[in-house]
Each structure stands twice: as C-alpha cells, then as structure tokens.
A and B are shown apart, each in its own frame.
Chain A
Amino acid sequence: MSARLRHHGVAGAVFTALVLIFLLVPLIIVALFSLHSSPSLTFPFKGFSTRWYSEVFGSEDFRESLFNSLKLALATAAFTLVFGTAAAYGVTRSGSRMSGVGVAIFMLPITLPLLFVGIALLIALRRVGIELSLLTILIGHTLIAFPFFFMIARVALERLDPMLEEAAADLGASPWKAFRKVTLPQVFPILLGAAALAFMVSLDEFVVTFFVSGNETTLPLFIFSRLRTTLNPSINVVSTLLMATTFVLFAFAFVMAMWGERKRARRAGNLMDVTE
C-alpha cells in the first residue's frame, strides 16, 4: 500500500475515532451521572449512589409513565408485526403496479417531518371528536413505527427463494398454507427483530406523542416535563433506563437478523454449491 494510502488509513481512523467519541461520550456522561451522589450534573464526580434511582422508582408519575410506555410499545410491536407482515406480503407477492403505490404509502410517515404527522393527527382526531388518550397515542406510535418494520419485512420476503413457495403450491398448499408452512418459518427471526425495532421506536417516541396525548404520560413525556422544571440526575436515570432498554432490544434485533440471514444463506448456499 502506498504511503499516501497509509496516511489515508491513519487519518481516517483518527477522524472516525473522534466521531465515535462525539457520538457516544455524551450518552455515556448521561448514564454516568445517573449514579451521581450529588444533584450536580457536572464534574468533579462526587461519588456513586443509587439515590436517584430510588427517587425515580418511588415516583408515582414515573411508574405510570413506565407502565404506559411498556403497554404502548408492546401494542405497537404486535400491531406492526401483524399488519406490517401482511402489507409486506401483499406488496411483494402481487406482481402488480399498484404495489409501488402501496410502498409509497407505507413509507410516508418517515418522509414527513414528525411535527406535521403529529399536528395533522391532532386536528383530525379533534375534528371527529375523539378524546385524546392512550389509544390516540397508540395510533401515533403505530404510524411512526410502521415504515421501519415494513422496510425490513419487505426485504426479508423478497430475498426468500420464490421457488419454495411455488414448490409448496405445487404440492397442494393453498397460498395461505404455503405462507404459514414455508414462508413464515423462514422469515420469522427477522420479523421478530423488526418487531423489536418497532417496540424501540414506540418507547422512544416523543414528537407525535406530544401532540396526541391527553393526560397520560409516557417515558419521553416524563423526561420532557422534568426538563422544564429542574435539571437533576433523576432525568439521567430515566434516560439511562431508556438507553439500556434500547440497547438490549437493538442487540436482540441485530442477533435475530444475523441468525436468520445465516440460516438462509447456509441452506441456500448448500443446495447450490455442490453442483460445480
């Protein structure tokens, strides 16, 4: 490798390291100060303590937000799993020009700034006279999470060997049976990962929730309200909890995707590479 390229390599590595520091250090600091023994949010670090964790978990408001967030996230994951899979199936297995329109619709929530999604939903609900509640928040969450799930499910379904579904049909399976017995077993790990992603998106969702929540709070709303009053490590606690949950879910989704991909590749590869 030429000297110049080696320089590229080193310069690039340094730059990347700096970028990684920029991205991760602020988050680490937040997590760190959740264990601060004093209310200060800056150095010097006075010592470790779990007092803020106790305070937060002792708060009625927090427990309610936590509970709400979890319920919403679970419902969002379930909703996207069912309807997202159906949508991805419809779009990839119809061979019709209309599927392009479908894809555009399904990806819409990502292309619009969340601000507009939120206020549009708000006024529409008000117009029809629906009271703001957990249900309306759920509607918002499912809207936002849908494109994420759909994108993944669609790719997963498209990468499946189509001959397998034909073989299933040939052997007597109706389209539904073929889906259940052949398609689904193969994509299930990836779909689970995608559902975990939807769960994550719901948990973290703030913007749309801000507009369509009535008296209920979610974890992000809880953080928001505390942000406007006092800044102390209790906010760090909630933030850290959110980050930790997100981390676990993301790792889970990642592992699922890798596992599903390796299974598929190994099987497909095995059947083909013995021919040459």
Chain B
Amino acid sequence: MSDAALRIEGVGHSYQEGDPVLRDIDLELAPGEFLTLLGPSGCGKTTLLRIVGGFIRPTEGSVFLNGEDVTRVPPHKRRVNLVFQRAALFPHLDVYDNLAFGLKLAKVPKGEIDGRVREALELVRLEGLAHRRSGELSGGQAQRVALARALINRPEVLLLDEPLSALDLRIRQEMEGELRRLHRETDTTFVFVTHDQGEALALSDRIALFDRGAIAELGTPREIYHRPTSALTARFVGDANLMPVDDGWMVLRQEDVVLTEASAVAAGNGGATNGSSERLRGTVRDIGFRGAGYAYVVECPELGEPLKAEVPSEAAQPLPLGAEVFVTWDPKVARVLPKSS
C-alpha cells in the first residue's frame, strides 16, 4: 500500500516551564483520511496540529509527510496548509490576491493563477467575489475563502484549527456540510481540531480523543460512541452517565435510561420494567424540553452525581418535577469500564 500521508512518531513537547503538553504521540493517517483531534482546551490537540504545520518544533519525536521527515522543516517549506480559527485573511489584499498569495510565492505563472483562483472560488461556491475586499466578507464567507486559500495550493495535508468555533450556529451547520463536501471533492487528507464532539462525530473518518497530552482513544466515530474503552471517552463523547461499580465505572448512555414514576409502579399500572433487577430510586430535579425529547436530571442517593436521561417526547407525558422515580436499564447496553488511570 502507499505510504501513510502523515505519520507522527513519538512526538512529545514541553515548554520551558516543564510540564509536557504532549506525550509520546503516535499516529498514522492514510491518504485522503479525515482525522479529528478532539479534546478539551489544554489537552494538546492544537499543539500537535501546529507541530504538523511546522510552527512548533517538538522537543521529541518526528513528523513524516508522505515518508519524508519534515520535523525540522519550517512552515513555509512544508507542503501542508492551515486553516485558522479566525480566517486570518490578509486585510490589505482582496479575495483574489489572498487566494493567489501562495501561488505567487510558488512562482506559478499568471495565466495559471487566474484559472486556479476561479476554480477555487467555484469549489467553495463564492464565484464572483474575487475582487471583494477581505474586510467586507461575512464570517462564513471569510472562512470559505480561508479554506480556498489553503486548498488552492493543493497541500498534501490540510490542517484545520477549530475553523467553525467562531461562527454563528446556523452557519456552522452549513459549513459542516461544506467541509464534508470539500473533503470528498478534493480527496485531500484532513486533520481537524475541535473541542466539539458533535462536529467530530459528524465529520470524521477517525477520531483521536486527547487527554492531558496523550491519545486516550482512537477509533471511528461509531466505535468511540458505542464502544468507548475508557470512562473519559464515554463522558466526553455523549456525556454518558458513569456509575461506580466494583472496579470501574458502568457506562449508561442517556438515551438508554428508563424512568418510571414510583407511584405508577406501586399502583400496578404502566411503567413496564424490562425484567431487570437493576434499579435505583431517584427524584426528578430538572426537566428540559429539547424538541425530540426531554432531558431529565435525576438525583439518586446512591450515586455521587445526578443522573441524566433522554426520553423521546412522544413516548409519554413528561414526569413532573420532584417526582419520585425508578431508574432502570437494559443490562445488555450498559458497559463496564476500568477506572481511568
């Protein structure tokens, strides 16, 4: 098979202050793959991205692009391009010159530049904006130009540093679809950084979940969501409930929780229990309507933290605030995970 498009070997990085920000990272990306680096702020994902981009030289380890060691190569000599969180378009240049910037530096002939700029604008569906000043673009438009500016150089790997987080919600959703389309149409390897697990699940071929400088979990979105191998993953992706058991945690996703009103069960009608003897008592502390379902927060005396549950809204009447409930679940869907180290 062909070489990995990007290979990260044993990369670690610490600043002068001492604590390592990244520890022994190993990753391999196939050509054309969409990999997301996911994690909370401070976990090292952005640092890794910047190392791949060439802006940081790692204190340990190496980076290989298509088999070539680029660890010591400065950013302007690497065949990768970065899309910044806030577009970072050059304010003194218009859209055309922004797009052509990299091409001119690579001494691409003028005629070809014209063609490629037009192509790039079509790709991001901004035809006709070639001579708009960068200051006059909306947030979404600017981000598209930034994408085009990066892709026009046909990089080996495209790096994206939380490009959607500064955008309006609605535009963000639109851009998610755009990113998927661009990935398909250009067949470029994408490395995408975000702290939003929804984006990660929606866009990626694989997700690398970061925790304090190391990769806690690596897998496809389905694997990570349904079969997390650590409590951290379960909690971070999907905010599952974690209940302490003997030597670990039991993971129970919010949509797998079944709530039945205690009074209903006692009276002998409704509230089918599903043949499980596992149940807890609790009190409903909060209810939120989410359109498709209700989000409950239930306080159970045996658990250290409140339990969260999602119940489809057509199923039944919502439980009243303060109601005493039984909490049950199908033992088959609950997983037990070891305690995080």
Give the distance in Å from the alpha carbon of A182 to the alpha carbon of B76 in the complex.
14
Q: Does B289 contact A (CB under 8 A)?
A: no
On whether the beta carbons of B90 and A167 are closer than 8 Å, the reply is: yes
Give the distance in Å from the alpha carbon of A198 to the alpha carbon of B106 in the complex.
39
Interface residues of B in 84-112 (CB under 8 A from A): 84, 86-92, 101-102, 105-106
Of the candidates B81, B92, B106, the one whose C-beta lies within 8 Å of that of A170 is B81
The interface size of chain A toward B, counting residues with CB under 8 Å, comes to 30
On whether the beta carbons of B105 and A171 are closer than 8 Å, the reply is: yes
Q: Mark the stretch among A18-26, A134-142, A158-166, A220-228 that contacts chain B.
A: A158-166
Q: Does A46 contact B (CB under 8 A)?
A: no
Query: Which residues on A sit within 8 Å (CB–CB) of B137?
Result: 270-271
Give the distance in Å from the alpha carbon of A268 to the alpha carbon of B134 in the complex.
10
On whether the beta carbons of B90 and A274 are closer than 8 Å, the reply is: no
Of the candidates B54, B88, B153, the one whose C-beta lies within 8 Å of that of A167 is B88
Q: Does B21 contact A (CB under 8 A)?
A: no
Closest partner residue, chain B, to A184 (CB atom): B92
Q: Does A168 contact B (CB under 8 A)?
A: yes
Interface residues of B in 153-176 (CB under 8 A from A): 153, 166-168
Closest partner residue, chain B, to A276 (CB atom): B168
Q: Does B308 contact A (CB under 8 A)?
A: no
Query: Which residues on B sit within 8 Å (CB–CB) of A163?
Result: 84, 86, 88
Of the candidates B55, B81, B135, B167, the one whose C-beta lies within 8 Å of that of A171 is B81
Give the distance in Å from the alpha carbon of A173 to the alpha carbon of B78 in the complex.
11
On whether the beta carbons of B74 and A266 are closer than 8 Å, the reply is: no
Query: Which residues on B sit within 8 Å (CB–CB) of A167?
Result: 82, 84, 88-90
Give the distance in Å from the alpha carbon of A182 to the alpha carbon of B105 in the complex.
13
On whether the beta carbons of A170 and B76 are closer than 8 Å, the reply is: yes
Known: A267-B135, A275-B167. A173 touches B82 (CB 8 A): no
Q: Does A172 contact B (CB under 8 A)?
A: yes
Known: A170-B53, A173-B105. A164 touches B88 (CB 8 A): yes
Closest partner residue, chain B, to A161 (CB atom): B88
Closest partner residue, chain A, to B133 (CB atom): A267
Query: Which residues on A sit within 8 Å (CB–CB) of B139?
Result: 271, 274-275
On whether the beta carbons of A172 and B106 are closer than 8 Å, the reply is: yes
On whether the beta carbons of A182 and B90 are closer than 8 Å, the reply is: yes
Of the candidates A164, A169, A266, A274, the one whose C-beta lies within 8 Å of that of B138 is A274
Interface string of A239-276 (1 = CB under 8 A from B): 00000000000000000000000011011101110111
Of the candidates B87, B105, B149, the one whose C-beta lies within 8 Å of that of A271 is B87
On whether the beta carbons of A172 and B134 are closer than 8 Å, the reply is: no
Shortest A274–chain B CB gap in Å is: 4
On whether the beta carbons of B84 and A172 are closer than 8 Å, the reply is: no
Known: A172-B105, A174-B76, A275-B166. A166 touches B138 (CB 8 A): no
Give the distance in Å from the alpha carbon of A53 to the alpha carbon of B135 in the complex.
51
Shortest B83–chain A CB gap in Å is: 9
Q: Does B129 contact A (CB under 8 A)?
A: no
Of the candidates A164, A182, A270, the one whose C-beta lies within 8 Å of that of B135 is A270
Give the distance in Å from the alpha carbon of A169 to the alpha carbon of B167 in the complex.
25
Query: Which residues on A sit within 8 Å (CB–CB) of B88?
Result: 161, 163-164, 166-167
On whether the beta carbons of A168 and B101 are closer than 8 Å, the reply is: yes
Q: Does A38 contact B (CB under 8 A)?
A: no
Shortest B335–chain A CB gap in Å is: 39
Q: Does B219 contact A (CB under 8 A)?
A: no
Query: Which residues on B sit within 8 Å (CB–CB) of A182?
Result: 90, 92
Query: Which residues on B sit within 8 Å (CB–CB) of A271?
Result: 86-87, 89, 91, 134-135, 137, 139, 142
Known: A167-B84, A185-B92. A267 touches B102 (CB 8 A): no
Give the distance in Å from the alpha carbon of A169 to the alpha carbon of B138 in the complex.
25
On whether the beta carbons of B75 and A170 are closer than 8 Å, the reply is: yes
Give the distance in Å from the alpha carbon of A167 to the alpha carbon of B146 in the complex.
10
Q: Does B136 contact A (CB under 8 A)?
A: yes
Shortest B55–chain A CB gap in Å is: 6
Q: Does A37 contact B (CB under 8 A)?
A: no
On whether the beta carbons of B92 and A186 are closer than 8 Å, the reply is: yes
Q: Does A177 contact B (CB under 8 A)?
A: yes
Query: Which residues on A sit within 8 Å (CB–CB) of B105?
Result: 171-173, 177
Most chain A beta-carbon neighbours within 10 Å: one of B87, B91, B142: B91
Shortest B21–chain A CB gap in Å is: 16
Shortest B248–chain A CB gap in Å is: 42
On whether the beta carbons of B153 and A171 are closer than 8 Å, the reply is: yes
Give the distance in Å from the alpha carbon of A185 to the alpha carbon of B102 in the complex.
17
On whether the beta carbons of B102 and A171 are closer than 8 Å, the reply is: yes
Give the distance in Å from the alpha carbon of A168 to the alpha carbon of B89 in the complex.
10
Shortest B203–chain A CB gap in Å is: 20
Interface string of B61-82 (1 = CB under 8 A from A): 0000000000000111100111
Query: Which residues on A sit within 8 Å (CB–CB) of B54?
Result: 169-170
On whether the beta carbons of B82 and A170 are closer than 8 Å, the reply is: yes
Query: Which residues on B sit within 8 Å (CB–CB) of A168?
Result: 76, 90, 101
Of the candidates B87, B102, B135, B153, the one whose C-beta lies within 8 Å of that of A266 is B135
Give the distance in Å from the alpha carbon of A268 to the alpha carbon of B80 in the complex.
26
Q: Lowest 3 A-B CB distances belong to which pairs?
A: A267-B91, A171-B102, A172-B105
- Please name 19 pairs of A and B residues whose Cβ atoms are closer than 8 Å in the assembled complex, sorted by A: A164-B91, A166-B55, A166-B88, A167-B90, A169-B75, A169-B76, A170-B82, A171-B81, A171-B102, A172-B105, A173-B101, A182-B90, A182-B92, A267-B92, A271-B134, A272-B166, A274-B138, A275-B167, A276-B168
Given A167-B82, A167-B90, A271-B89: 6 more A-B contacts, CB < 8 Å: A163-B86, A166-B88, A173-B76, A267-B134, A272-B86, A274-B139
